[in-house]
Amino acid sequence: MSKFIPQPSCADPEDKNRLSIDAARDRISALIKPLNSWQRYPIRDALDRVLYQDIISPINVPAHNNSAMDGYAVRSDDINDGSLNLKQVGTAFAGKPFKGKINSGECIRIMTGAVVPNQCNTIIMQEQVDINDDIVTIHGHHRKGQHVRYVGEDIKTGAVVLAAGRRLVPSDIGLLSSLGIADVNVTRRLRVAFFSTGDELKSTGESLEVGQIYDSNRYTLFGMLKRLGVEILDMGVVPDQKAILRQTLADAAQQADVVITSGGVSVGDADYVKEMLAELGQVDFWKIAMRPGRPLAFGKINNSLFFGLPGNPVSVMVTFYQFVTPALRKLMGESKPDSITLQVTCTDKIRKRPGRFEYQRGILFTDNDGQTKVKTTGSQGSGILSSMSNANCFILLDEQCDGLAANSIVSVQPFSGLI
């Protein structure tokens, strides 16, 4: 009788064949080249799209010296530290400049945004004057140039206002409009195909037999991909049958820039993804030193990138946020800084064994003293999807961490920085 030799498993605290999170990210990044094709869109349709080219300002902003206040435009040489009487000789409105000449001892009434006449260089707020017919009496001390917005103070002609690789947000759309830019070149939409594997999976609306479950991963993946603004190809649930799985993988790779699967990347008897990928492409299967989300497959099928995610619902989300999202953003040409991490107090005791990096689910909140703190969502099992639904951040625990007492300082990664 042969001697039993245990194999490495997700229950082990350490695995000599494991890959660190940073090493996995580096390997993925090395294989990615940003898309080199673009589409031209009206700016209203370009929200959340990634700029393909720098935006160069065609004009100065402001285009002319203008008033930052409702008040009176004066010559600085005419004002001093005491009261001063000036004669009002006209009015300037936004869009309707004063066209006359202003001599020494004169001023004009001016509204916010109105052009400041060439002879004037200072604005006196209307609250700091008295009016008697056309005589304006100025009170208080004033400095030359106050309350004047100067030509090009915000943006100068020829300046790069938005760099290639920027994902456009609402304020960017307004900025483009302020420059008179109606259309922009953005990277074409990334095409992503995805499907779940498993005989036990059913879609919403179908009846469950004994041993079957509803497929949450496809719907979760759809939501995360939707947030990234990609073109989505949902290929449904694929049963644990080699021929069907092989054909679905081939079809997906033919249609999409990226193929994502959930489930079938472990060592079970019916986990056929690895075998099929060996026939179709060049894919590495990794054991990542992390929890949840230990098994991960990455590589290429023809010209498409492939991500094989674990089957457990929480593992799918963690691996998607930590590995897939950065890869897709790089493919789209997006220049994105690292996600934000915060140092806060965790009000709960945290259980953890050393050996793997953990992404525990947490809830950031503000206590009665106005301090930002975090608490866990409770049980951290990789199949407890409610832990992700209730959470708004990951609590980041490094490999050496052996648990933490309540009120310890921890690093957290808000979900808002990942999506």
- Cβ atoms 60, 87 nearer than 8 A: no
Residues 6 or more apart whose Cβ sits within 8 Å of residue 370? none
User: Which CATH number fits the domain that encloses residue 120?
Assistant: 2.170.190.11
Residues 175 and 252 in one domain: no
**Per-residue confidence band for 242, with pLDDT thresholds at 50, 70 and 90:** confident
Burial classification of residue 157, based on how many CB atoms lie within 10 Å of its CB (0-12 exposed, 13-18 middle, 19 or more buried)? middle
Provide mean pLDDT across the span 362-391. 90
**Which of these ranges, 122-131, 206-215, 380-389, has the smallest mean pLDDT?**
206-215
**Which helix (H) or strand (E) element contains residue 225?**
helix 217-228
What is the share, in percent, of the chain residues with pLDDT greater than 90? 70
- Please state the domain count of the chain: 4
Of 126, 149, 172, the residue that ends a domain is 149
Q: Does a structural domain hold residue 202?
A: yes
| pLDDT at 327 (0 to 100) | 95
Residue at 15 is within a domain = no
Domain harbouring 44, CATH code: 3.90.105.10
Last residue of a domain, one of 306, 331, 356: 331
Asked whether residue 258 falls in the same domain as residue 143, the answer is no
Determine the Cα–Cα distance for residues 67 and 300; give it in Å rounded to an integer.
59
Structural domain that includes position 73 = 66-149
Q: Please check whether residue 7 lies inside any domain of the structure.
A: no
Which whole number is the average pLDDT over 410-417?
91
pLDDT at 17: 61
Do 223 and 138 share a domain, yes or no?
no
| Residue 118 is assigned to a structural domain of this protein | yes
Q: Could you count the other beta carbons within 10 Å of the beta carbon of residue 377?
A: 20
Same domain, 117 and 86: yes
Same domain, 361 and 323: no
pLDDT digits (tens, 9 = 90+) for 339-373: 789 999 999 999 999 999 999 999 999 999 999 99
Mean pLDDT for the chain?
89
Note the pLDDT tens digit of each residue in 258-296: 999 988 665 554 456 777 788 888 888 788 999 998 888
Does residue 336 lie in a domain region? no
Residue 102 within a domain: yes
Q: Are residues 193 and 291 in the same domain?
A: yes
Same domain, 402 and 366: yes
Q: Are residues 33 and 94 in the same domain?
A: no
| Cα 238 from Cα 202, distance rounded (Å) | 10
Q: Domain check: are 111 and 210 in the same one?
A: no
pLDDT at 198: 77
Distance of CA 50 to the CA centre of its chain: 11
3 occurs within a structural domain: no
In a shared domain, residues 132 and 250: no
Cα distances from 245 to residues 236, 263, 281, in angstroms, run 12, 12, 14
For residue 387, give the CATH number of its domain. 2.40.340.10
pLDDT, one tens digit per residue, over 116-157 is 999 999 999 999 999 999 999 999 889 999 999 999 999 999
Evaluate whether 263 touches 316 at the Cβ level (below 8 Å): no
Residue 228 has pLDDT above 60, yes or no: yes
User: In whole angstroms, what is the distance from residue 23 CA to residue 413 CA?
Assistant: 20
C-alpha to C-alpha distances, 150 to 66, 131, 147, 182, 384, nearest whole angstrom? 7, 27, 10, 25, 58
Question: Considering only 11-15, 109-113, 339-343, 405-409, which range has the smallest mean pLDDT?
Answer: 11-15
The CATH number given to whatever domain includes residue 282 is 3.40.980.10
Structure letter (DSSP) for residue 51: B
Please check whether residue 196 lies inside any domain of the structure.
yes
Of 131, 149, 167, which one is at a domain's C-terminal end? 149
For residues 212 and 318, membership in a common domain is answered with yes
For residues 195 and 129, state if they share a domain: no
